[in-house]
Amino acid sequence: MKKLSESMPDAVRSILARRSVRRFHRDRPVEDWKRDCILASATSAPSAKGIRPFRFLVLEDRSILDSLADALSQGVIFKEATLAVAVCADLSSYPKDSLGWLEDCAAALENMLIAATSLDLSSVWFGVYRRSPKEEQVREVLKVPSHVEVQGIAVIGYGMEELPPRDAIDPQLVGIGSWNMAFEKSK
């Protein structure tokens, strides 16, 4: 498929430019106004039936970030990051057995990653939910109560690497029509 136009809107440009970066400049904190833009983007995410179960733990304190780094086998990114935001869901008044909160929190987390990119920051989605032992370790460090789930953590900062934006549609990921017409042609 052909490359996308250079005249695309800024929002689309930020979506295509968003890449997972795992190394950050520890000595360069994220400015308060950028953090606040990211949080505004998170709290503006869509939510099923307007329930808005998401809650955001802003992690800027070096001792908390270092505790996450020490507790997690994949936690080295927390040693370098100056900002992380844990995306949680308060399920205390959420409909029983409903998983809509996962979608709500995923939308909020993605909003944060795109907002970070638009502010010339780098980020990565650190998955937590149902990832053992990571989930238990994060819950312990952040002292999360039992009625709250941690969906993931947006780790944000000034990246030490610059990855090129995507600029085309990946034809292996897009099909037209029914599944068997789009992806099972060669079987």
pLDDT at 60: 97
**Residue at 61 is within a domain:** yes
- The model's pLDDT over 55-76, given as tens digits with 9 standing for 90+, comes to 999 999 999 999 999 999 989 9
Supply the range of the domain harboring residue 125: 10-183
Q: What is the residue type of 103? A: E
**Which is more confidently placed, 108 or 6?**
108
Whether 40 is covered by a domain: the verdict is yes
175 token code pair: 């099909």
Task: Give me the number of domains the chain comprises.
Answer: 1
Is 2 domain-assigned?
no
Residue 117 counted as domain residue: yes
Position 5 in a domain: no
Q: Within a domain: residue 4?
A: no
Radius of gyration, alpha carbons of the chain? 18
Q: What CATH number does the domain containing 100 carry?
A: 3.40.109.10
Phi and psi at 119, nearest 5°, equal: -100, 20
pLDDT of 1 > 50? The answer is: no
pTM (predicted TM-score):
0.91
Residue 125 lies in a domain: yes
> Residue 34: what pLDDT?
98
Q: Is residue 50 a part of any domain in this protein?
A: yes
Closest alpha carbon to 28 in 111, 122, 113:
122
